Amino acid sequence: MMMQYDIVIVGGGPAGLAAAVAAKESGCDSILILERDNELGGILNQCIHNGFGLHTFKEELTGPEYADRFIQQVKELQIEYKLNTMVMDISPERVVTAMNRDDGMFLITAKEVILAMGCRERPRGALNIPGYRPAGIFSAGTAQRLVNIEGWMPGKEVVILGSGDIGLIMARRMTLEGATVKLVAELMPYSGGLKRNIVQCLDDFDIPLKLSHTVVDIEGKEHITAVTIAQVDENCRPIKGTEERYTCDCLLLSCGLIPENELSTSAGVELSRVTGGPVVNESLETNIKGVFACGNVLHVHDLVDYVSEEAKKAGETAAKYVRGEITDNRGKTIAIRAESGVRYTVPTTLNPDAMDDLLTVRFRVGDVYKDAYVSVYFDGERVQHKKKRIIAPGEMEQVILQKKQIMQYPELSAITLKVEEV
């Protein structure tokens, strides 16, 4: 059987939901969301802590509550969705192959596809941590699912490697569940998580955070019994003589998130080497016409509010394509470059004719900067220079570009973002 939809959205997490709502509100009626899990909401369903939605709804919600706001809209707007449905393939011609137990394997032709598959955690194997490979080692998100959804404890004496946000949240969660979290070790000299999570999840519970430290050995043939932590030098190599042994029955890993782009690759989508997500233009369209990306599959966000905001944009643009308002977005493009301290930008190109009056360019930095400036250059000319008290890798940053201003530079070829100390 071959189905047809104007917009197929792959993933029913925060990005997919916001994109669907925006596309529908922009006048597109033929939308299908494909969700692999048994409910909409994605990873928010296991994020039972609060702190979501301060920007979007001006109040603090839990993850499931935040998701529910969008799920209710999807239902009210009568947007179609299929649960327990795995997308197996997306072709460059936007034929989506999906499967579930009721419909079997089926094909859908889509005018536009919005990629919203989210990300996965970097596993132990990819970290090359030496030692045994016993039970009791979890990525923080897997442990979060076990604790918050399934109601099972993965351990009672916990060491956490990596200070990503899920690791920090789980440090608090495990403590509240009666476990002892002995420490959080972070390879880098700075945390990869939000400042507020360090304060609320570690400091408030007296859990030590050891920066520039890593796990150099794992003990226990069947079940983990101890880990050895060592300090690392500026090249992230362990320093001899700094080893400390911690007994534990659980090691949680929160060492980075990787956008899940295997499907994108099958569609021929070009990926950024820095973010691991698709390379997109101002409309969040990839190099494959009619394929858009938003949320953590595009780049890993710090706050879900920004995911929703970005996804809304993808949904609106996809709807414009459906209506034929944009037919070819391959006209004049201006490169957006990341330099000196800025690791990447999303998007990486813009077409001034296709952009809205304002364009949000999101980026992350590669180090911690204090009292530094975020600058925007139009070719050689500095047009924005904003002082920030602190800029850190764990927090996503943004600059706003104005169409009006860009139009004043008809010869403009590149926009460059930089962190400048003065």
Partner 1 sequence: MYDIVIIGAGVIGCAVARELSKYNANVLVLDKNEDVCAGTSKANSAIIHSGYDAKNGTLKAQFNVRGNAMMDDLCRDLDVPFKRIGSLTICTDESQIADLEKLKERGEQNGVPGLKILNREELLEIEPHIADGVVAALYAPTAGIICPFKLTIALAENACENGVRFHLMTEVTKIEKADEGWKVTTNHGEYLTKTIVNAAGVYADEMNNMVSENKLKIIPRRGDYILLDRTAQGYVRHTVFQLPTELGKGVLVTPTVHGNTIIGPTAFDIDDKESTATTASAIAQVTEKSAISIKGLPTRQVITSFAGLRAREAGKDFILGEAEDAEGFFNCAGIQSPGLSSAPAIGAYIADLIKEKLTLSEKEDFVATRKDILDPSKLSLEERNELIKKEPAYGTIVCRCESVTEGEIIDAIRRPLGARSLDGVKRRVRAGMGRCQGGFCSPKVMDILVREWGLSMQDITKSGGDSHIVIGRTKDGDE
Residues that bind partner 1 (CB under 8 A): 36, 84, 86, 88, 99-105, 120-121, 123-126, 128, 130-136, 139, 141-142, 145-147, 149-156, 177-178, 216-219, 221-223, 238, 249, 262, 265
Amino acid at 299: H
CB of 420 to partner 1, least distance (A): 31
CB of 155 to partner 1, least distance (A): 6
CB of 73 to partner 1, least distance (A): 27
DSSP state of 393: T
Return the bridge partners of 350, or none: 334
CB of 306 to partner 1, least distance (A): 24
21 vs 218 by CB, closer to partner 1: 218
CB of 41 to partner 1, least distance (A): 15
Return the bridge partners of 100, or none: 104
150 vs 411 by CB, closer to partner 1: 150
146 vs 211 by CB, closer to partner 1: 146
CB of 149 to partner 1, least distance (A): 8
126 vs 199 by CB, closer to partner 1: 126
199 vs 236 by CB, closer to partner 1: 236
Q: Are 338 and 345 in contact (CB under 8 A)?
A: yes
CA dihedral 119, 125, 130, 134 (to 10 degrees): 100
56 vs 261 by CB, closer to partner 1: 261
CB of 199 to partner 1, least distance (A): 24
SS3 label, residue 3: strand
CB of 2 to partner 1, least distance (A): 11
Q: Are 246 and 230 in contact (CB under 8 A)?
A: no
H-run or E-run covering 345 = strand 342-346
Question: CB neighbours (10 Å) of residue 33?
Answer: 26
- Short-list 326, 330, 324, 296, CA closest to 310: 296
- Short-list 1, 15, 22, 10, CA closest to 318: 22
DSSP state of 302: S
262 vs 411 by CB, closer to partner 1: 262
CB of 158 to partner 1, least distance (A): 11
1 vs 422 by CB, closer to partner 1: 1
Tokens representing residue 261 in the block: 């782009």
DSSP state of 116: -
123 vs 366 by CB, closer to partner 1: 123
H-run or E-run covering 18 = helix 14-25
Q: Are strands 226-231 and 244-247 parallel, antiparallel or unpaired?
A: antiparallel
CB of 268 to partner 1, least distance (A): 15
Rounded CA-CA distance 70/65 in Å is 9
Tokens representing residue 30 in the block: 């033929």
Q: Are 81 and 34 in contact (CB under 8 A)?
A: yes
CA dihedral 57, 58, 64, 65 (to 10 degrees): -80
Q: Are strands 342-346 and 358-365 parallel, antiparallel or unpaired?
A: antiparallel
173 vs 301 by CB, closer to partner 1: 173
